[in-house]
Chains A and B, each alone.
Chain A
């Protein structure tokens, strides 16, 4: 269970830094096919921004922004984007993830289609990594029981001496 941080300086500064961390993460994802970086690295940075939010503001304040359910949906969606692009190439009579086959759909030359295909795959990987990072963090820090669901589980049985 993560509690709200006590230090007002750390809380305020991290609150102001989080949008910049996120835009940096998206930059790393979107420029992954030109420069170092890519889906995995960008996804980890994006997930780290959520972890920072949870660490400094606590689960109760941050739950409206980061919920376990959304993260599960995002992780599945990321895998779906990745596999969808792969199988689309397979359907278009190429190999799995053979992006040049996408040229017919996107109406561009094969080299450009490869670039766009890699970008799409990077976005999928980024989604999945970000969501899985955050949900692993939530699982570890809450012991698998989210604060909103404590009532269903009930008090742990008291051991008799």
Chain B
């Protein structure tokens, strides 16, 4: 009898201990969660401050670059280089640039623009070379008596992220003879290809890699960064 009582008492005490333990763990979890939440909020605040500074810088840079480009365009159109007309041009370019500096360059981070522009100017000759190559290919298809075309629509999932890069790729595909971009649906290109060869070329993804490289998207961010760092270190040695 006494033994039974003893066992019961021991059981009860264990149960109470267990409850206390669960409660303590709960409390600790809540405390940890609260700390991490506050830390997350702090981080968010700091990040917002940084992003604000970045946005102001990007806005100023976009304004200046847009202004310069528009002023060149104005000088090209105007053809009158006296003080009066040039000052009119400055005023007009200022108005248009302040209205639309985020139209011409949308979501371009400050500091990226020079890299993008440089890579784009290197991309244009490559694109021209590709256009010439597929021009010969399509000419051969058309001139051969059997007409060995194999037209089809292909759906092509892209890894590009921004609107600008997708439009660059779409227009490059359309410029290349034999392929035409019909639509972009949620990051999926619908492309009409004239023959198996051009479709295979497209699926190989050379052009997409180049465009991703220009706009520093997908994995090219990391690869290019690593290459640049390696080059800098080599130069330092």
Mark A residues whose CB is within 8 Å of B.
Answer: 7-9, 11-13, 15-16, 18-20, 22-24, 26-27, 30-31, 34, 65
Contact = CB atoms under 8 A, between A and B. Distances in A.
Contact of B183 (A7, A12, A22, A31): A7
Given A9-B167, A15-B103, A31-B78, A20 B88 contact: no
Contact of A27 (B92, B167, B171, B183): B92
B106 interface: yes
Given A8-B184, A27-B77, A31-B78, A19 B96 contact: yes
Judged by DSSP, the binding face of B is helix
Given A8-B184, A9-B167, A23-B74, A15 B92 contact: no
B12 to A, nearest CB: 64
A46 to B, nearest CB: 10
A12 B105 CA distance: 10
Contacts of A11: 163
B106 A19 contact: no
Contact of A23 (B93, B163, B171, B181): B93
Contacts of B96: 19, 22-23, 26
Interface in B162-215: 163-164, 166-167, 170-171, 181, 183-184
Given A9-B171, A30-B88, A15 B93 contact: no
B99 interface: yes
Interface of B: 66, 70, 73-74, 77-78, 80, 85, 88, 92-93, 95-97, 99-100, 103-104, 106, 163-164, 166-167, 170-171, 181, 183-184
A23 B69 CA distance: 11
B166 A19 contact: no
Contacts of A34: 80
Contacts of A20: 70, 73
A112 B183 CA distance: 55
Contact of B100 (A7, A12, A18): A18
A19 B67 CA distance: 10
Contacts of A27: 74, 77-78, 92
Given A27-B78, A30-B85, 11 more contacts: A7-B183, A8-B163, A9-B166, A9-B170, A9-B171, A12-B166, A15-B106, A16-B104, A19-B100, A23-B92, A27-B92
